[in-house]
Amino acid sequence: MAVRKIAFPVVYQQNQNDQSSAYGKYYPKPFKPDTLSLRGLIERVAMDQSVYSRDIVEGVIQRLTKVMVELLQGGQPVKWDGLGTFTPTIESVKGGATEAQLKAGIDIREVVAGVHIRFIPENEKGEEITSRKFKDLVVFTVMGVAERVSAGMTSGGKQKYATNVIDIESWKNAGTSPSPSQGGSSQGSGTETGQNQGGSSTGSETGQGGNQSAQGYALTITTSGSGSASVTKDGNAVTSGSNLNEDDEVEISITPAEGETPTATINGSSIELTESEGVYSGSFAMPGQASSLVINTGGSSGGNGGADLDKD
C-alpha cells in the first residue's frame, strides 16, 4: 500500500498509577487535539491532486456513508479494502434470556442492550495498517511531555483537569517532571477533562487524601500461537493490565495461523468465536473481579502471537 508519510505527533505521558510496575515511567501517546470532520475529510480528498471537484467528492462520500450505515443496520459486515472491516456486534443484557423467556416469546429488544460497530484494520499482506508493520509507514514527531493541570471545579464541586503539553527542551530546562500526586495533595474526587491521551473518551479518577487508585478490575491478557489478535472496548485497544469496570463489553478479533482454529477463554470459560472471511471474533462482559483472558491464535507458539497487545 503506497501512502504519503505525514508527521504523526506524539507526547510522552507519565504512568501515575502507583499500583503499576510501570509507575513513574513515560510512554508515547498519540496527540491530535481535534478530530477531522467529514467536511474536513472531503476538503482533504478534493485538494489531493484529484481530478474530481469538491461537489463530486462530497456526494460520493456522503452516499457511501449512508449505504454503509444501512448495511450495518442490517447486520452486514462491510470490508473496505485497504482500510479494514466494519462489523456490527450485539451487546446482550446482563444474564441474557432464560429458556422460559424464549418459550414465552420475549421481545428481542429486551435482550439486546446495544449494538456496537467493531472495526478490524486491514491485515492482508502488503496492506497492514496496524501494529508493528504499520509503524514502518509512520514518521513520528515529539510534541513534548503531557502534564495534567487543574482546570477549576465543576458545578457539582468536583475537580476538573486539562492537559498541558510542555515542549521537551522547556521540560528539560525546568528541571522537574510531571510527578505523581503526593500523599495529602488532593481531596475528594475529580473528573478529568480536556485532551485524553490514553483513549478517546473522558475518564475519571478518585483521590482520597492524595492516594489515587485505579478504577475497576485488572484484565490480564495472555496470547500464544503464530496468528494475531486484538482486544478492544468501545473501539479502543485494551492491553494486558488494563483496569475495566464490571460488565464492560470487551471484543476480541483473531486472525489465526493458516488452517488453524483459535480459542479464547475468560477465567477458564470458553468465549464463543464467530468466523467471517478468515477472522474470528467474539466478546464477553468483564466480570466483577480481576480476570484472565487467554487467547490461542493457533499454530506453534510465537511469543505473543503477533498480537497488538503491548503492555505499557
pLDDT tens digits, 160-203: 767 788 888 888 887 554 444 333 333 333 333 333 333 333 33
- Based on the domain organization, do 19 and 162 belong to the same domain? yes
Query: What's the pLDDT score for residue 133?
Result: 75
Q: How far apart are CA 238 and CA 309, in angstroms?
A: 7
Burial 249-268 (b: 16+ CB within 10 A, else e): bbbbbbbbbeebebbbebee
Q: Are residues 288 and 142 in the same domain?
A: no
221 with 195, same domain: the answer is no
Regarding whether 134 and 61 lie in a shared domain, the answer is: yes
C-alpha cell at 222: 495472555
Query: How many whole angstroms separate alpha carbon 249 and alpha carbon 89?
Result: 11
- What's the length of the chain? 312
- Among 139, 168, 199, the domain boundary falls at 199
Q: Are residues 47 and 195 in the same domain?
A: yes
pLDDT tens figures, 24-56: 899 998 887 677 788 888 888 877 766 778 888
Within a domain: 66:
yes
In a domain, residue 96? The reply is no
Beta strands in 15-169 (DSSP E): 26-30, 78-80, 84-92, 112-121, 139-153, 159-166
Looking at the structure, do residues 189 and 236 belong to the same domain, yes or no?
no
C-alpha cell at 283: 466478546
Where in the sequence is the domain holding 42, given as residue range(s)?
1-83+129-199
- Report the C-alpha gap between 109 and 310 in whole angstroms: 37
Helices 38-46, 54-73: axis angle to 10 degrees equals 130
What span, in angstroms and rounded, lies between the C-alpha atoms of 214 and 208? 12
Residue 148 neighbours by CB distance under 10 Å: 19
Are residues 145 and 73 located together in one domain of the fold? Answer: yes
Interior CA angle at 237 toward 234 and 141, to 5°?
120
User: Could you tell me the strand order of the sheet in which 242-244 lies?
Assistant: 242-244, 217-224, 291-296, 263-266, 269-270
- What is the pLDDT, as a whole number, of residue 75? 94
| Apex 243 CA angle, 131 and 312, nearest 5 | 40
| Domains identified in the chain, total number | 2
As a whole number of angstroms, the distance between CA 242 and CA 236 comes to 12
What pLDDT does 63 receive?
93
Residue at 209 is within a domain: no
Assessment of whether the complete model's pTM goes beyond 0.75:
no
Domain boundary residue, one of 165, 199, 233:
199
**Neighbour count for residue 292 (Cβ, 10 Å):** 14
Residue 247 — left, alpha, or beta (φ > 0 → left; ψ -120 to 50 → alpha)?
Answer: left
In order of 28, 85, 298, the CA distances from 82 in angstroms are 26, 9, 25
The β-bridge relationship of strands 78-80 and 159-166 is: unpaired
**Residue 224 and residue 266 share a domain:** yes
Other Cβ atoms closer than 10 A to 67 = 11
107 domain-assigned: no
Residues 137 and 259 in one domain: no
250 and 221 Cβ atoms separated by less than 8 Å = no
| Residue 226 within any structural domain of the chain | yes
Residue 122 resides in a domain: no
145 and 238 in a common domain? no
**What pLDDT is stored for residue 69 in this prediction?**
94
Residue spans of the chain under pLDDT 70: 1-5, 33, 49-50, 125-127, 131, 161, 175-215, 299-312
- What pLDDT, on the 0 to 100 scale, is given for residue 305? 34
Query: Nearest to residue 290, comparing CAs of 221, 198, 236, 189?
Result: 221
Look up residue 171 and give its amino acid: W
d(CA 242, CA 252): 15
Residues 141 and 237 in one domain: no
